[in-house]
């Protein structure tokens, strides 16, 4: 028995793996693999259409919001977003909450001016900024809704920031109910919570596009992708298919509100346990703790190796902290069953008894 706490690529529902394997061997009883069919065919086009429609339905999107599946990982969106939304002399507002927001900031600076409207750098990224200073002239405000490495999450979304709101939701997409229509652009690499690596979800309010003066390469222009219904060129067909299967699974679970309750239960079990065991310590400010990626350390760092060895022996996969921060990280994405969190917290209790 293994428990998969990998941060990304990460656990997906078992039925998705089974269906995806089947489609590689014999897609929809055609005698063909999904890997050997044209994308502009009556075989694949419905896959793209269903994937986009499921996102619209699960996120409750209005008609201004377009759904795209694009190449390149969230890292591509770090540059594609400012290229489409930020004029050369314009200003964009960014919140600085950890590794991922810093990477987004670095890319935005290539296209225009960037102000930092709120930062938790002084707190070593263990919190989310309490207050933001957003210039009214900013083209948009960018937030990273869940900092996958730092282990923080925005629980109060700054909807009323006065400028278009854009967000990197790579590691908490579809994990909780938000007012998605109040975001003007949302992007997420699929490999954390909604599919396989190789595809990005982009949800964009079409009314904010077409306002920059620079020439945008065709493949990087959101408007072209909207016009071509996310089939401007060959899409990453298999990754889109896996995303569609995962979205179907999510709908079958009851949708985002049902999965949110399950995620809340898992996070509560984890954090209640750690707060009651003095051997372990979660350095994140309580109100800002991530329900997707829980980070923690040991009060006595000398015990870390022993605990890690115990985790390995017990089949707890992917719990070592990111190489940049150390300690431990337990990722609890949508597909992770609560049984895995129970197994992990039992192991923590067992270890604490031994070293208490
Ligand atoms: C993983 C991650 C990324 C990077 O995604 P890639 O698909 O590897 O480019 C960006 N932002 C966040 C919040 C992430 O968790």
Verify that 118 and 206 share a domain, yes or no. yes
Whether residue 118 is found in the same domain as residue 166: yes
Last residue of a domain, one of 235, 253, 271: 253
Task: Give CA angle at 45 (189, 234), nearest 5°.
Answer: 55
Catalytic (active site) residue 192: yes
Which of the following is catalytic: 168, 172, 184, 288? 168
Measured by CA distance, the residue closest to atom 8 of ligand 1 is 73
For residue 75, how far is its CA from the centre of ligand 1 (angstroms)?
6
* 217: exposed, middle or buried (Cβ count in 10 Å: 0-12, 13-18, 19+): exposed
Output the domain CATH number for residue 74: 3.40.640.10
The Å distance, Cα 11 to ligand 1 centre, comes to 16
Which residue has its alpha carbon closest to ligand 1 atom 3?
74
**Domain-embedded: residue 4:** no
Token readout for 122 is 């002084």
103 and 38 share one domain:
yes
Asked if the structure places residue 1 within a domain, the reply is no
Q: Are residues 225 and 291 in the same domain?
A: no
Strand segments (E) across 198-304 = 200-205, 280-281, 293-298
Span from the CA of 71 to the centroid of ligand 1 (angstroms)? 13
Residues 69 and 81 in one domain: yes
Q: Whose CA is nearest to atom 10 of ligand 1?
A: 74
Pairing of strands 3-4, 65-70: unpaired
Which of 97, 106, 148, 199 is the pocket-test mutation for ligand 1 (most atoms within 8 Å of CB)? 148
**179 carries an active-site annotation:** no
140 lies in the same domain as 282: no
pTM: 0.97
User: What is the span of the domain harbouring residue 244?
Assistant: 14-253
DSSP codes, 174-215: TSS---GGG-SEEEEETTTTTS-TT-EEEEEEGGG-S---S-
φ, ψ at 145 (rounded to 5°):
-60, -30
270/249 same-domain check: no
Query: How far away, in angstroms, is 171 Cα from ligand 1 center?
Result: 7
Q: In the chain, how many domains are there?
A: 2
Q: Which atom of ligand 1 is nearest to the CA of 8?
A: 1
Ligand 1 centroid distance, CA of 317 (Å) = 20
Asked if the structure places residue 6 within a domain, the reply is no
Return per-residue pLDDT of the chain as tens, 356 residues: 899 999 999 999 999 999 999 999 999 999 999 999 999 999 999 999 999 999 999 999 999 999 999 998 999 999 999 999 999 999 999 999 999 999 999 999 999 999 999 999 999 999 999 999 999 999 999 999 999 999 999 999 999 999 999 999 999 999 999 999 999 999 999 999 999 999 999 999 999 999 999 999 999 999 999 999 999 999 999 999 999 999 999 999 999 999 999 999 999 999 999 999 999 999 999 999 999 999 999 999 999 999 999 999 999 999 999 888 889 999 999 999 999 999 999 999 999 999 87
Considering 154, 192, 266, 291, which one is annotated as catalytic?
192
Statement to judge: residues 222 and 302 lie in one domain: no
Please tell me whether residues 72 and 174 are part of one structural domain. Answer: yes
Write phi, then psi, for 317 (nearest 5 degrees). Answer: -95, 135
Of 253, 274, 290, the residue at which a domain comes to its end is 253
Ligand 1 atom closest to residue 144's alpha carbon, by position in its atom list: 13
Q: What is the CATH number of the domain that holds 303?
A: 3.90.1150.10
Q: For residue 65, give every residue at least 6 positions away whose Cβ sits within 8 Å of its Cβ, in sequence order, or none.
A: 56, 59, 180, 181, 203, 204, 205, 206
226 alpha carbon – ligand 1 mean position (Å): 23
Residues with CB under 6 A from ligand 1: 8, 73-75, 100, 144, 148, 168, 170-171, 189, 192
In a domain, 8, yes or no: no
Residue 266 covered by a domain: yes
Ligand 1 atom at shortest distance from the alpha carbon of 145: 13
Active site residue 211: no
Ligand 1, atom 4, lies closest to the CA of 74
Domain end position, chosen among 253, 278, 294: 253
Q: What pLDDT shows up at residue 323?
A: 82
């Amino acid at each position: 028995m293994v428990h998969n706490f990998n941060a990304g690529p990460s656990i997906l529902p078992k039925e998705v793996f089974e269906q995806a394997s089947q489609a590689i061997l014999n897609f929809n009883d055609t005698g063909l693999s999904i890997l050997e069919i044209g994308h502009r065919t009556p075989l694949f086009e419905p896959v793209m259409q269903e994937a986009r429609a499921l996102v619209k339905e699960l996120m409750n999107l209005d008609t201004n919001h377009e759904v795209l599946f694009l190449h390149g990982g969230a890292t591509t969106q770090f540059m594609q977003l400012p290229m489409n939304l930020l004029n050369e002399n314009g200003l964009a507002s960014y919140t600085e909450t950890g590794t991922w927001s810093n990477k987004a900031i670095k890319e935005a600076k290539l296209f225009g001016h960037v102000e930092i409207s709120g930062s938790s750098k002084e707190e070593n990224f263990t919190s989310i900024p309490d207050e933001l200073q957003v210039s009214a002239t900013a083209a948009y405000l960018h937030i990273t809704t869940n900092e996958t490495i730092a282990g923080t999450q925005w629980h109060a979304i700054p909807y009323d920031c006065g400028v278009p709101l854009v967000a990197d939701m790579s590691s908490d997409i579809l994990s909780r109910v938000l007012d998605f229509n109040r975001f003007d652009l949302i992007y997420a690499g699929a490999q954390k919570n909604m599919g396989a690596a190789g595809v990005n979800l982009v949800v964009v309010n079409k009314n904010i596009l077409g306002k920059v003066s620079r020439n945008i390469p065709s493949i990087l222009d959101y408007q072209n992708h909207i016009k071509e219904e996310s089939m401007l060129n060959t899409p990453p067909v298999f990754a889109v298919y896996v995303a569609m299967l995962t979205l179907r699974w999510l709908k079958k679970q009851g949708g985002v509100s049902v999965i949110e309750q399950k995620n809340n239960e898992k996070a509560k079990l984890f954090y209640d346990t750690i707060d009651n065991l003095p051997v372990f310590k979660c350095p994140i400010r309580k109100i800002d703790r991530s329900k997707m990626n829980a980070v923690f350390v040991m009060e006595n760092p000398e015990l870390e190796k022993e605990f890690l060895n115990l985790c390995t022996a017990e089949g707890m996969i992917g719990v070592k902290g990111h190489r940049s921060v150390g300690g431990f990280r337990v990722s609890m994405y949508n597909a992770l069953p609560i049984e895995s969190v129970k197994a992990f917290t039992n192991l923590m209790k067992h270890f604490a008894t031994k070293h208490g």
